[in-house]
Amino acid sequence: MSNPIDYSQGIYDAKKLGTPRLLILGAQHMFAMFGATVLVPLLTGLSVSTTLLCAGLGTLLFHIICKGKVPAFLGSSFAYLGGFAIVSNDGANPENLPYACAAVAFSGLLYVLVSGLISVFGIRRIMRFFPPVVTGPIIISIGLILAPSAINNCQSNWLLAFVALAAVIVCNIWGKGMVKILPILIGVLVSYVVALVTGAVDFQTIGAAAWFGIPLHKDSMGLFAIDGSETFISAVFTIVPIALATMMEHIGDIAAISATTGKNYIRDPGLNKTLLGDGLATAMAGLLGGPANTTYGENTGVLALTKIYDPLVIRIAAVFAMILSFCPKFEAIINTIPSGIVGGISFVLYGMISAIGVRNVVENKVDFTNVHNLNDALLSSLQVGGAALGQVYNISNGAPVPLWDVVNYVLRRLELPPVTRHVPFPLAYAAATLNEGVCRVLPGRPEPSLFRLGVAVMARDFSLNIDRAREYLGYEPRASLWDALDEFCTWWQAQGGAQA
């Protein structure tokens, strides 16, 4: 008679549990990542099948590079949703999605670069370039920028959105065991049942879908979108910087897995290896037409619950995900989920993204009474992009006024030539990035002459509007914008500024 297995100290060799239990544990990890992983393609317009394939392949690649030591599953990253929304114009231009995928591949190469730098210079020297005061506000801004798209989806069916939202909250607060580990999946299932009862689900596409199909589509692959076009370059500069934030998330996830299993994976196999694995998995996913990969905290929760720490179980889950990716009928079923449910679930997830940024700031005790920290946080959050940039500065009277009209009005009054934009934005942004990088490594860290934020500002047609100041602060200007500009120009010329 075999000795009973002691689960209290954790199981590091799951083979002794037997094949049936191994398969069940692998299926459990697949369900843990499933809800969040398939939600990303639903929000972005990418293929669910391709996403599942990339998640499975990416996880296996990660395990190969990390020598099979780290029990981590790589699923779809929500941090890149803002980048996909900007490139595809909130889904209005789905033909741009391959360019976004290509940019995701390049963001994976940034992981590879940082991994190499860590190998050469050590982790402490590299991480000082990514302080929490910068990465925290970036993550917070990503969540806040995405929130309006969640509301738009909710508006299609508020009942389903509220049911999904309530189910997730109830499971997360009062759930126990696997219920607490799978709030997203349970929220989708509960609200989907309500959708079935209310007749909000359209089954027409399911019958037409085949049982077997190849999950890769040439027209959707980022590999064939690397063409040097303006759209491609713009996508690269929009999406690649997001990797700076997701690398911080990666470090936190690896630290959490280490704390759960009692093994220091940052030391062995090393953070350079885990970053390399995550980066190559993300690059591969982008080239194949999938979203960026990231280490999943949901599966870390399953590790803590089951105390089964063998990475083999994670690899079994990856194989299950790949098998499902070859079933178009399964993708058709996923695509029948009403947008109201997607809105309710994404509302929670976008809030979680911002919460991660807040936690990053709080846990590192960032002091925002320090003016340098405050400036860094403001600049980094503004660089995230999105519609918020066009509505931050509200100084005009009456109808919104384009920024360039204001700038050129002042220049004409000062008898100076008007400003026109001759340099393409991607080229100017690259030059600013290089300028800032060089100044960071020079002795004394001199002030850059060209900033990325300045380039981003000059490339956008801002709308200068005081409607919000009127509504919330009761502000009413005593003079028009143009009178104020005339007064300023007169004063400037009297000071001899025009000649200077």
Query: C-alpha angle with apex 385: 380 to 386, nearest 5 degrees?
Result: 145
Q: Do 315 and 141 form a contact (C-beta atoms < 8 A)?
A: no
Residue 487: burial class (beta carbons within 10 Å; 0-12, 13-18, 19+)? exposed
306-352 pLDDT, tens digit each: 677 888 989 998 999 899 889 888 777 777 878 788 778 777 766 76
For residue 244, the surrounding DSSP H or E stretch is helix 242-261
Confidence class for position 378, pLDDT limits 50, 70, 90: very low
Give me the amino acid identity at 304: A
434-448 pLDDT, tens digit each: 766 666 666 666 666
pLDDT surpasses 90 at 155: no
The winner for highest mean pLDDT among 69-78, 348-357, 438-447, 478-487 is: 69-78
Exposure b/e, 340-351, CB count within 10 A at least 16 = b: bbbbbbbbbbbe
Confidence class for position 15, pLDDT limits 50, 70, 90: confident
Give me the amino acid identity at 354: S
Torsion of CA 434, 439, 442, 443, to 10 degrees: 180
pTM greater than 0.85 (yes/no): no
Q: Do 461 and 404 form a contact (C-beta atoms < 8 A)?
A: yes
More confident residue, 465 or 45: 45
pLDDT, average across residues 430-459: 64
pLDDT surpasses 50 at 393: no
Return the pLDDT at 380.
46
Q: What are phi and psi of 50, to 5 degrees?
A: -60, -40
Instruction: Average the pLDDT over each of 186-195, 436-445, 465-474 and give the range with the smallest value.
Output: 465-474
Backbone CA torsion sign across 57, 61, 66, 69: positive
The whole-angstrom separation of Cα 159 and Cα 191 is: 9
105 bridge partner residues: none
Confidence class for position 74, pLDDT limits 50, 70, 90: very high
Locate 349 and state its tokens.
Answer: 């997830």
More confident residue, 125 or 258: 258
